[in-house]
Amino acid sequence: MILDLGDYQFRSPGYFIRAASQPFEARGAAALRRRVFVDEQAIFSGDDRDDIDLIATHLVAISTYAGEADQVVGTVRIHEEAPGLWWGSRLAVDRDFRHVHRLGTELIRLAVSTANGRGADTFFAHVQTQNVPLFERMHWRTLAAVDLHGVPHAKMQVDLSRYPACADPEAGWFRPVRRAA
């Protein structure tokens, strides 16, 4: 993100990719999902929250300003449906940050690595069809075509062997802004 203040430009130095552990992170993730799934895509009316939110681990991408956490610009949630069986859902990146290299892929990587670190044997997601190529590049395979909430999706499964276990998703990692060559 570039802030233009006349002759001065300040560039956000990077993004934290981690499990939401602060109230502002949880509020930011919920607000982002509402903007994407209710306002922008009109998949849900009013709110997209459901019972899974009560048991899910919510992961976030947070932009930084002057080295400090600024705003939630990406989110995804994961949950264990049965012992060893995990699901990812509600992947969203803020419209103004979709140009940022790898925010979605970093959230997917943290989601799968977190589940792997928590004993996942299987990890599924229902992926909107326009996002299937991204997931395929990340070692996911399509199992079936499905319609969810009136939107075409693919039920996909990841190759867990391609993702190292993440023991501390709250710490996550920092993704610096990619500089133009």
Domain spans of the chain? 12-172
Q: What is the pLDDT of residues 118-127, one digit of tens each?
A: 999 999 999 9
pLDDT, position 70: 84
CATH number of 12-172: 3.40.630.30
pLDDT, position 83: 98
- Cβ atoms of 112 and 118 within 8 Å: the answer is no
Q: For residue 70, give the amino acid letter.
A: D
pLDDT, position 1: 43
pLDDT over 70 (residue 53): yes
Q: Round to whole Å and give the CA distance between 21 and 120.
A: 22
Q: Round to whole Å and give the CA distance between 81 and 86.
A: 6
**Mean of all residue pLDDT scores within the chain:** 91
Kindly report whether the global pTM for this prediction surpasses the value 0.85: yes
Q: What is the pLDDT of residues 59-88, one digit of tens each?
A: 999 998 777 778 999 999 999 999 999 999
- Cβ atoms of 178 and 18 within 8 Å: the answer is no
